[in-house]
Amino acid sequence: MSVLTRDEAQTRAQFLDVHRYTIDLDLTTGEETFDSRTVIQFTAAAAGDTFVELKPATLRSISLDGHPLDPADLVDNRFPLTALTPGTHELRVDAAMTYSRTGEGMHRFTDPTDGETYLYTQLCLDDAQRVFAAFDQPDLKSVFALTVTAPEGWTVLGNGIADHQGNGHWTLATTPIISTYLVAIAAGPWHSVTTEHAGLPFGIHCRRSLAPHLDTDADEILDITRACFDRFHEKFDEPYPFDSYDQAFVPEFNAGAMENPGLVTFRDEFVYRSAVTDTERQTRGMVIAHEMAHMWFGDLVTLAWWDDIWLNESFAEYMGYQTLAEATRFTDTWVDFGVARKGWGYDADLRPSTHPVAPDPDAVPDTASAMLNFDGISYAKGASALRQLVAWLGEKDFLAGINTHFARHKFANATLADFIDNLASATDRDVHAWADAWLRTTGVDTLTSHVEETDNTWTLTVDHHGNRPHRIAVGAYDHAPDTHTGTDRLVLRDRYEIDVPQTGTPTPHPGHRPALLVLNDGDLSYAKIRLDPQSWNTVVTHLSGIPDALTRAVIWNAARDMVRDGQLAPTTYLEAARTHLPHETDLALTQGVLAFAGTHIARRYLAPEQRPAALATLTALCRDLIRRTEDGHNPGLRLTAVRHLIDAATQPDTIQDWLTNGTVPGGPELDPELNWRILTRLAVLGATDETTIATALEQDPSATGQEGAARCRAALPTPEAKATAWNTLFHDDSLSNYLFIAIAQGFWQPEQADLVHEYVPRYYPEATGLATRRGPAIADAVGRHAFPAYAVDHDSLHHGEQALNDKSLTPALHRRLADQIDDLRRALAVRNAH
């Protein structure tokens, strides 16, 4: 498929003004294709040529101003419109379009639980042309009027209120002016829970087999939706700009969610059919808030070109965490952001593929390169930059600038320059200089504290390695006796804000030096933090006794960064986890530390001969947490410990007993998620077989059961199982995106290094061919999930570096491999450093 270049988009935007799309979709024509009939009314500013995008199975007819054109003129995904005259035109297109199995365009899914079929669109960033003919770029906004023919008994959802005309015919309310990538349809026998709020219809929807689980959580989901909706109306002067608010939880969704106006789509793993922790519920709440923020930033005001992805995603990420904390019971969202999201940004920013939050337009020359920037920089780093901006600017001026931005550009497009100008209009501060330093640069600054103590005075100097200004808080903590335990605890002596200069400036303070000094206390800025030696010694013994969870998150992140930079032994991090997690009170922190220890340290940063000891440490730690929760007062912590104990098990006895008995002693009882988790680990250890997997699938024939069985079968430690899984991954092009990921997750296991070693050099050419055949979604999946991450050795690095020279790599796969190989290089450096 030809990709749209920025130059082509700019030329076409100057040439065309698009007024209206009238689209009729027929979803009753079979399992492979659907019918799409499109009428586009537009104006040409001058005489000239342009093109419309369309990727059909069959182009039946196309006409311009009533004159038929030759369908054979369609080349790849472009149809030329030549010799246009100035003035208005009408383009009519009749085509059969192909259903997707990879989450792009119109995705089709049949639920194995009950045989019901569901369809939904995912058109970001340039996949509208997979559903209807379009001038497919964000700054050619238009109104859209859709009609849909669906099987009887189905419900059709869209950007506007849907009216059932009878006999499966649906009419959707004409949208306000929106971009092509935001058009949305979801059709199927949905289970729906509806209500009304602020005079608007609200609804949540899922497939019927998940109905009991959605009903269980419906009040929570709708309460969060209403609370965030009301809070945004307190923040923003512009009212919600659409006629309804539906949230559809859809199967096999590639992203976390998509901000389609009036019809947000979420991956339906957010409809929990197994037990989850409160932190996971908080994450779902954050995603709800994030997508709602997009109704203003992204949907009402839209980027002009994809170099400004961050204007959408960073803003929604920041607002998602901030608004959830302000409007709901989830008041500690920034702890989760600090431990679960900022590391994503730091990691991305330290790779060769890093880019500025707001890259130069020339660095995003086409849609293929734009897709690569939906990453930790555009989300986590950008949100961190906005949080720093609010700390520096003040929330009042920040929101004033935002509201000016909405007022000036509503139902239109805006650029970074527009955004900065609008912020600058609300303050005397030099926002343009701030933007140059924060949004146009790459990399992570490092702030290191140095402390000198003299008679009754201590002096702090902040060594600033980097180029950005930082507004941070400094926390000073002292030892204090704990009368309950008879041990020392830490108490906050003082927390004060400073502006960190480019060069260290000593700051004297009266009194004795604190036991612990924490730079960036409260995590207001985006920087790596290094403690002075005495503060680090305090942390080693008293980390769990620091009173504020966000402060502990800053320190755990500092330890994480030190491991990745080769400055702290991975085993030391594990020892800290073993010492302090049994006393940790914040679940998000516990989950984040265990995830890093289990995934990065035990699997990659330690040599194979050190892995058993690391897993033994993690197992002992999880047993402590399970014992700590025997009173039933912290089921989320207990569930977290059970999950990680399963993943760290080196002997099958304990988890096999749990599976046989259907419960962990003292709880929880095993639900589908825990059943499949145990069975996967037993497969890795060679302690189960195909018969057991097949029996489990009979008991849970759902979509997640199908994925669980596929993962287990790929994890079995036999040559036959590996050969079958490999062949399915790389040669079955009908495999859905989710089943592909499940098999890939099961295939590579550190315990099976000798068994899968021969597949490492085979991976690169096979991945290259697969990405070329199946497109960006599978390219991302094969690079993310099917990469041999377990193989941390120089041979694997050599194969990877050679593969990056292959000119046939698609952009999506090249970016993913480049990042994986850089992570591999880092893992080798960590091993060599200790």
pLDDT on residue 502: 60
8 domain-assigned: yes
Question: Among 189, 211, 229, where does a domain finish?
Answer: 189
pTM, two decimals, is 0.97
- Amino acid (1-letter code) at residue 461: T
Of 384, 547, 542, the closest CA to residue 475 belongs to: 547
78 domain-assigned: yes
CATH of the domain at 77: 2.60.40.1730
Structure token pair of residue 696: 């489990």
430 domain-assigned: no
DSSP 283-342: HHHHHHHHHHHHTTBTTTEEESSGGGHHHHHHHHHHHHHHHHHHHSS-TTHHHHIIIIIH
DSSP 529-572: EE--HHHHHHHHHHGGG-S-HHHHHHHHHHHHHHHHTTSS-HHH
- Residue 748 structural domain: 717-834
112 domain-assigned: yes
Q: State how many domains the chain has.
A: 2
607 domain-assigned: no
Question: Among 161, 189, 217, where does a domain finish?
Answer: 189
Query: Which residue has tokens 């991090």?
Result: 573
173 domain-assigned: yes
**Catalytic residue at 313?**
no
Catalytic residue, chosen from 53, 280, 291, 317, is: 291
C-alpha separations of 292 from 67, 203, 298 in Å: 43, 14, 10
**Long-range contact list for 113-117, CB < 8 A, 24+ apart?**
113/209, 113/701, 113/702, 113/703, 114/208, 114/209, 116/188, 116/189, 116/207, 116/208, 116/209, 117/188
3-state secondary structure of 623: helix
3-state secondary structure 707-750: HHHHHHHHHCCCHHHHHHHHHHHHHCCCCCHHHHHHHHHHHCCH
CB atoms < 10 A from the CB of 30, how many? Answer: 10
483 domain-assigned: no
Question: Among 189, 217, 233, where does a domain finish?
Answer: 189
pLDDT on residue 73: 98
Query: Which residue has tokens 């997750």?
Result: 745
pLDDT on residue 632: 87
105 domain-assigned: yes
pLDDT on residue 485: 64
CA–CA separation, 243 and 245 (whole Å): 7
Mean per-residue pLDDT pooled into runs of 10, the chain (834 residues): 93 98 98 98 98 98 98 97 98 98 97 98 97 98 98 97 97 98 98 98 98 98 98 98 98 97 98 97 98 98 96 96 98 96 96 95 93 95 96 96 98 96 97 96 96 92 93 94 75 93 78 96 97 96 95 98 97 97 96 97 97 98 96 94 98 97 96 98 98 98 98 98 98 96 98 97 97 96 97 96 95 97 97 93
